[in-house]
Structure 1
Amino acid sequence: MSLLDPAIVNALSNVTTATLTTILLKKGLRNVWIRGAFPLLQDSPRVVGRAFTVRFVPAREDLATPASWASPVSSRGAIEQMPEGCIAVVDAMGVKDAGIWGDILCARMVKRGVRALVTDGVVRDLVGVLATGLPVWSSGTAAPPSVAGLTFVDWQQPVACGGVAVFPNDVIVADQDGAVLIPAALLDEIVDAAVEQERFEGWIMQEVNAGAVLPGLYPPNDTNKAKYEATRDKA
Structure 2
Amino acid sequence: MTLADRLHACHSSVIHDVMADMKLRIRVLPRTILGLEPGMKAAGPVFTVRGRPDPTLDKHTSLFEWAGLLSKSPAGHVVVCQPQDDTRALFGGLSAEALKIKGVRGYVVDGGCRDIQAISDQQFPVFARYATPIDIVCAWRAEAFNEPVAMGGHLVQPDDMILADRDGIILIDGSAAEDVIAAAETKMATEGEMVKAIRAGVDPQEAYMKYRVF
**Shared topology, TM-score over 0.5?**
yes
Post-superposition Cα deviations, 1:29-68, rounded to whole Å, max 9, x if no partner, equal: 2223453321112233x332110111123x34336x5454
Query: Larger Cα Rg: Structure 1 or Structure 2?
Result: 1
Structure 2: how far apart are the matches of 1:159 and 1:191?
24
Structure 2: how far apart are the matches of 1:49 and 1:91?
18
**TM-aligned CA deviation for residue 20 of structure 1:** 0.5
Note if contact 1:91-1:162 (Cα within 8 Å) is conserved in structure 2.
no
Aligned to 1:104: 94
2:4 to 5, 9, 16: 9
- Are 2:36 and 1:40 equivalent residues in the alignment? yes
Aligned to 2:83: 92
Aligned to 1:116: 106
Note if contact 1:36-1:162 (Cα within 8 Å) is conserved in structure 2.
no
Distance change (3 Å), C-alpha of 1:60 and 1:205: same
Q: After the TM superposition, which of the residue ranges 24-33 and 48-57 deviates more from structure 2?
A: 24-33
Structure 2: how far apart are the matches of 1:216 and 1:16?
25
Aligned to 2:15: 20
For structure 2, list consecutive stretches of 5 or more residues without a partner in the other structure.
none
**TM-aligned CA deviation for residue 201 of structure 1:** 1.5
Distance change (3 Å), C-alpha of 1:14 and 1:107: closer
The 5 Å alignment of 1:70-81 reads 70=63, 74-81=65-72
**TM-aligned CA deviation for residue 70 of structure 1:** 4.8
Higher strand share: 2
1:214 to 180, 204, 208: 204
TM-score by length of 2: 0.84
Note if contact 2:55-2:138 (Cα within 8 Å) is conserved in structure 1.
no
Aligned to 1:199: 189
Aligned to 2:162: 172
Structure 2: how far apart are the matches of 1:11 and 1:70?
36
Aligned to 1:231: none
Give the 3-state SS of the residue equivalent to 1:89 in structure 2. Answer: strand
Percent of aligned positions that are identical: 23
Distance change (3 Å), C-alpha of 1:133 and 1:192: closer
For structure 1, list consecutive stretches of 5 or more residues without a partner in the other structure.
1-5, 229-235
Note if contact 1:169-1:184 (Cα within 8 Å) is conserved in structure 2.
yes
Aligned residues: 212
| Residue identity matched to 1:81 | K
Structure 1: how far apart are the matches of 2:112 and 2:150?
15
Q: After the TM superposition, which of the residue ranges 25-34 and 98-107 deviates more from structure 2?
A: 25-34
| Residue identity matched to 1:62 | T
**TM-aligned CA deviation for residue 213 of structure 1:** 3.2
**TM-aligned CA deviation for residue 153 of structure 1:** 1.7
- Are 2:25 and 1:29 equivalent residues in the alignment? yes
Structure 2: how far apart are the matches of 1:127 and 1:29?
36
Note if contact 1:35-1:120 (Cα within 8 Å) is conserved in structure 2.
no
TM-score by length of 1: 0.78
2:62 to 69, 75, 82: 69
**TM-aligned CA deviation for residue 78 of structure 1:** 1.9
